Structure 1
Amino acid sequence: MSGIPEDMRVINLGLPKSGTTTLGEALRRAGFRVADWKIRPGQSKSIRGFVGKLMYSGWFETGDPLHYLGEFDAFTEIDVIREGKNLWPQSDWALLAAIRATYPGARFLLSWREPAAHADSMRRWSNLGRSRLPENAVPGLPAGFGHAPGELERWIEGHIAFCRQVFAGAADYMDYDTADPDAKARIGAFLGVSLPWWGKANENRNHPGSEAD
């Protein structure tokens, strides 16, 4: 496999706790410049902040969602639901289409997990699944929904279906189950790069579940 093409941008459409940190670590070790959820001190010479907020700033100010993120070529978690922000670029087709039009080399991944296990992981991760998601109006999950059994699961299923529908038949899209033993090979083949590492990152050690997060 070749090195990373100069025009490649990798955008993961996965929801929180769907293996986004693992994907980020794998791409980082493969040589990608990864922005995972937030640009932290030392990552950039000029910008700080949440990836999702920077995407929307670029989109509305210039028409290019990656305008402020030129130092990076992989974006592994792009939502934010904290500090008064509630942004979900992975559910916004206009924004995704703008990335697609501006960056012909862009590749879109969807990391997903079996919905029941995924929802359980969200509920155990700080207050994400217990209050932040149910108390905010999230695309596909209106405020007030998400507390009852099955509601987060249905939202997760809906997001997977949305991504598969809007990218149906597209060569620049691939989704993968994080539990698939062939995930590393499939992602590498899709991107045309060799992934030297694949494992489990950002596990919930305070509230472990039956499977790693």
Structure 2
Amino acid sequence: MSRLRVINLGLPKSGTTTLARALRKAGLHVADHRIKPVQTDDAALHGRFVGEMMYDGYFLRGDPLHGLDVFDGFAEINALRPPRSIWPQFDFGLLAAIRACHPGTRFLATWRRPEEIADSMLRWSNLGTERLPAADIPGLPAGYGVTTRERETWIAGHYAALDRYFAGCDEFLRIDVADGAAPARIGAFLGRDLPWWGKTNVNPVRAAQEDDSA
């Protein structure tokens, strides 16, 4: 049986941290956004962004998972820390390379309603107010993402593109993290029970920020 590898193609604030914890509780070694020293003894990986390493492997070796053998799963693969704006989940050439180099890889896409993700992005630190609008992101060029409508359109477009790309493929599952059946569906998809499911990295309660919703 081939090794189980799991890659989440969901966007920030779509339930990525919940998925990371659930996969770890299921016994998988998971990287989430940026590799921490506690996750590996390889000092060369400490502090590296998962998405950055995927592009290094893709362009230098033809294998986006090169150098990431220690990990079974990847719960959030984008990086948005200026000057970096790295979004492998939008790159179908890179995804095709993963599928070619690692047959059987399971692709998830954590999902919430676009309006919920857009609102959560707005309330999470400066993600929606500064970092998204300032960055060049696939489908969201610099200067866009300021309004709720722009973020929702971008979010919905991403998941629609994933649905089209993986249409008819049994190696992809878009999962509503609010669905009570989510852990059972993910477990069946991966062939591994998830002993935990809940909420983590929840936005702090704060006064609503101004946002031009037009």
Question: Which bin holds the TM-score, normalised by the shorter protein?
Answer: over 0.9
Q: Name the amino acid aligned to 1:44.
A: T
User: Which residue of the partner structure matches residue 133 of structure 2?
Assistant: 134
Structure 1 CA distance for aligned equivalents of residues 83 and 201 of structure 2 = 24
User: Which residue of the partner structure matches residue 42 of structure 1?
Assistant: 38
Does the residue aligned with 2:117 lie in a helix, a strand or coil?
helix
User: Which residue of the partner structure matches residue 24 of structure 1?
Assistant: 20
Q: Name the amino acid aligned to 1:153.
A: E
Does the residue aligned with 2:179 lie in a helix, a strand or coil?
coil
Structure 1 CA distance for aligned equivalents of residues 148 and 33 of structure 2 = 27
Evaluate the alpha carbon distance shift between residue 196 and residue 86 of structure 1 in structure 2; reply closer, same or farther with a 3 A threshold. Answer: same
7, 10, 18: which is aligned to 2:6?
10
CA-based RMSD of the aligned residues comes to 1.3
Matched, 1:194 2:190: no
Evaluate the alpha carbon distance shift between residue 149 and residue 43 of structure 1 in structure 2; reply closer, same or farther with a 3 A threshold. Answer: closer
Does the 8 Å contact 1:8/1:103 carry over to 2?
no
Structure 2 CA distance for aligned equivalents of residues 166 and 111 of structure 1 = 16
| Displacement after TM superposition at 1:83 (Å) | 3.7
Evaluate the alpha carbon distance shift between residue 168 and residue 205 of structure 1 in structure 2; reply closer, same or farther with a 3 A threshold. Answer: same
**1:128-207 superposed matches below 5 A:** 128-207=127-206
Q: Name the amino acid aligned to 2:164.
A: Q
Deviations 1:20-78 (A, max 9, x none): 00000000000000000010112122212110011111111101101011000100000
Moved beyond 2 Å, runs of 4+: 205-209
Does the residue aligned with 1:39 lie in a helix, a strand or coil?
coil
Deviations 1:64-104 (A, max 9, x none): 10101100010000000004110000000011011111111
Structure 2 CA distance for aligned equivalents of residues 42 and 11 of structure 1 = 20
Does the 8 Å contact 1:20/1:76 carry over to 2?
yes
Q: Name the amino acid aligned to 2:52.
A: K
Structure 1 CA distance for aligned equivalents of residues 75 and 207 of structure 2 = 23
User: Which residue of the partner structure matches residue 68 of structure 1?
Assistant: 67
TM-score w.r.t. length of structure 1? 0.93
| Displacement after TM superposition at 1:208 (Å) | 8.4
Structure 2 CA distance for aligned equivalents of residues 137 and 77 of structure 1 = 18
Gapped regions of structure 2 (runs ≥ 5): 209-214
| Displacement after TM superposition at 1:205 (Å) | 2.3
Structure 1 CA distance for aligned equivalents of residues 191 and 200 of structure 2 = 23
Does the 8 Å contact 1:35/1:74 carry over to 2?
yes
Percent identical among aligned pairs is 56
Q: Name the amino acid aligned to 2:36.
A: R
User: Which residue of the partner structure matches residue 54 of structure 1?
Assistant: 53
Does the 8 Å contact 1:7/1:104 carry over to 2?
no
Structure 2 CA distance for aligned equivalents of residues 208 and 101 of structure 1 = 47
Structure 1 CA distance for aligned equivalents of residues 206 and 26 of structure 2 = 30
TM-score w.r.t. length of structure 2? 0.92
Structure 1 CA distance for aligned equivalents of residues 34 and 207 of structure 2 = 24
Does the residue aligned with 1:174 lie in a helix, a strand or coil?
strand
